[in-house]
């Protein structure tokens, strides 16, 4: 079993919800739109794995979300950071519990750039994506 270090735990924001998996996914999609972001794509990783013949009991949908103005500002500052876009928020089950989570954008971008403008953008995006997760919870 893989154990996260304290630093790795800090990089994630994950909440548990009492909602069923599909309801949490629907509510997350609504929260994303409510906060001025768009859903670019939803990857149903659980269904994809099962469709490939792999036994995988957990549910997992990864939402690619983006705010066009923020994404454009990031890429205008450092085009290489397109590889860190868009933001991803997951709804998944683990041991029978539905969870919603993300990797914190501010810490992820801090590992890739020390630019103060990017830090500001990433902190703002992080605040808004955490609000989305909390709203969907």
How many Cα atoms are found within 13 Å in the side-chain-facing hemisphere of 103? 14
Whole-angstrom Cα Rg for the chain:
15
Distance CA(62)–CA(42), nearest Å, equals: 6
Could you count the other beta carbons within 10 Å of the beta carbon of residue 68?
Answer: 11
How many Cα atoms are found within 13 Å in the side-chain-facing hemisphere of 78? 16
Q: What was the pLDDT predicted at 41?
A: 97
| DSSP 3-state of 96 | coil
Consecutive sets of 10 residues in the chain, 137 residues long: mean pLDDT of each?
55 96 98 96 97 96 96 94 95 97 92 90 96 98
Residues 19-45 pLDDT 10s = 999 999 999 999 999 999 999 999 999
Token pair recorded at residue 35? 């906060």
Residue ranges of domains in the chain, CATH in brackets:
7-136 (3.30.310.70)
Token pair recorded at residue 82? 């397109």
């Amino acid at each position: 079993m893989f154990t996260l270090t304290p630093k790795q735990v800090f990089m994630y924001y994950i909440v548990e919800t009492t909602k069923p998996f599909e309801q949490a996914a629907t509510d997350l999609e609504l929260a994303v739109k409510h906060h001025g972001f768009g859903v670019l794509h939803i990857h149903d990783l659980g269904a994809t794995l099962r469709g490939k013949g792999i036994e995988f009991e957990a549910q997992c949908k990864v939402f690619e979300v983006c705010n066009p103005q923020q994404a454009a500002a990031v890429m205008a500052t450092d085009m290489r950071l397109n590889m860190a876009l868009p933001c991803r928020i997951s709804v998944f089950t683990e041991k029978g519990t539905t969870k919603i989570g993300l990797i914190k954008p501010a810490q992820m971008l801090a590992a890739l750039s020390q630019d103060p403008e990017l830090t500001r953008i990433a902190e703002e995006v992080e605040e808004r994506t955490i609000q989305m997760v909390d709203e969907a919870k």
